[in-house]
Amino acid sequence: MGRNFYGGVRVIDGNEPGFGAKRTILHGVISYGSQFLEPERRKQTTTYYAPGSGIELAIPALPEPAHVGVIGLGAGTLSAYGRKGDQ
């Protein structure tokens, strides 16, 4: 746990039945993202960008190669949807 200008921030490791081990960052009670800890699942998208989400449907629908700009906390997660040649 740490504290910044905006308040307390926690990083917790957990294991949810059906999901496996994951690491989550929380600000108060709001989850700002998770990552699976098993090597074979580390690049799998989670939370707002999980399989079946709107962005998971939108990016593959773009013409190839796609040119996409993303900002904010989801930028790293959204890069998992990139295809060869996308920018």
Give the separation between CA 56 and CA 10, rounded to whole angstroms.
27
22-50 average pLDDT score: 88
Tell me: pLDDT of 23 over 90: yes
- Which amino acid is present at 17? P
How many helical (H) and strand (E) elements, i.e. helices and strands, does the chain have? 2, 4
Q: The whole model's pTM is what?
A: 0.71
Give the separation between CA 3 and CA 73, rounded to whole angstroms.
18
pLDDT band with cut points at 50, 70 and 90 for residue 30: confident
Give the separation between CA 73 and CA 33, rounded to whole angstroms.
8
Angstrom CA distances, 76 to 4, 9, 67, 79, stand at: 22, 19, 16, 5
